[in-house]
Amino acid sequence: MDTTAIQRALVALGYSLAVDGMMGPKTRIAVQTFQRGAGLAADGIVGTLTVAALQSAASKRGAGQPATKGQHLPADWMPAARMKRIVVHWTAGAHRASGLDRRHYHILIEGDGKLVRGIPSIDLNDAREVKPGYAAHTLSCNTGSIGVSLCCMAGAVESPFNAGEAPMTRSQWEALPRVLADLCRRYGISVTPRTVLSHAEVQGTLGIKQKGKWDISRLAFDQTVRGAQACGDLFRAGTASLLAT
């Protein structure tokens, strides 16, 4: 695969870069982000494994067609509301969304990447006033906050790390930026560490005390990524690149 072909494949996957045949910084960052998402070493070097992963991902996208601005979330899942931020969680449950899971979050991503709507509607967490039945997903930080959760990590242990019976899958992790990009567009939320963040980042970044929450500070399928900020930076980069296309 030459650099132009690599760039075409990355653009088809939703990364924002110019197809100019040159391996510049934007291309290298896109390669690294792709590699992390694919569970490969994020060295920015397009070797055999990365080529295979790129080709398989691009063919899944449909014959190398550029990613559309297509919305992934149905419009009625995103009613009018004033929303300030998105907090990303895992459910600490199974790969399928249970009734309990659906009560706590607005949007859930199941183990195979399938999107499930939570029971509370996003507008119940409106920044002007939360309404009865709102999604209680983040302690003292639900007003104006959309809760998105990956269905996974039942029985997981933080240290020493054990991903438990329902480890986070690459499919749900890859679906996350697409969901976040839809929500950012719909509600005019910009992608910053204060506005698109994981539950594990809330205490450190916003200064709102949580009870030892570590979702999301590990990726079960890529143990080289460690820490809430490293994980958050990955989904922010993925979201920002989708928004830039």
Residues that bind Zn ion (CB under 5 A): 89, 199, 215
Contact 36, 234 (CB under 8 A): yes
Task: Please give the distance of CA 11 from its chain centroid, rounded to a whole number.
Answer: 18
| Residue 93 per-residue DSSP state | B
**How far from 245 is each of 11, 181, 184, CA to CA, in Å?**
8, 11, 14
Residue 148: CB minimum distance to Zn ion, A:
10
**Residue length, the chain?**
245
| Residue 132 per-residue DSSP state | T
Residue 207: CB minimum distance to Zn ion, A:
17
Instruction: Kindly state the tokens that stand for 42.
Output: 């994020």
d(CA 123, CA 210): 23
Cβ within 8 Å of residue 160, ≥6 positions away: none
Residue 184: CB minimum distance to Zn ion, A:
19
Residue 128: CB minimum distance to Zn ion, A:
24
Instruction: Kindly state the tokens that stand for 106.
Output: 């607005």
Residue 215: CB minimum distance to Zn ion, A:
4
By beta-carbon proximity to Zn ion, the closer residue of 6 and 219 is: 219
What angle, rounded to 10 degrees, do the helices at 25-37 and 48-60 form? 80
Residue 21: CB minimum distance to Zn ion, A:
43
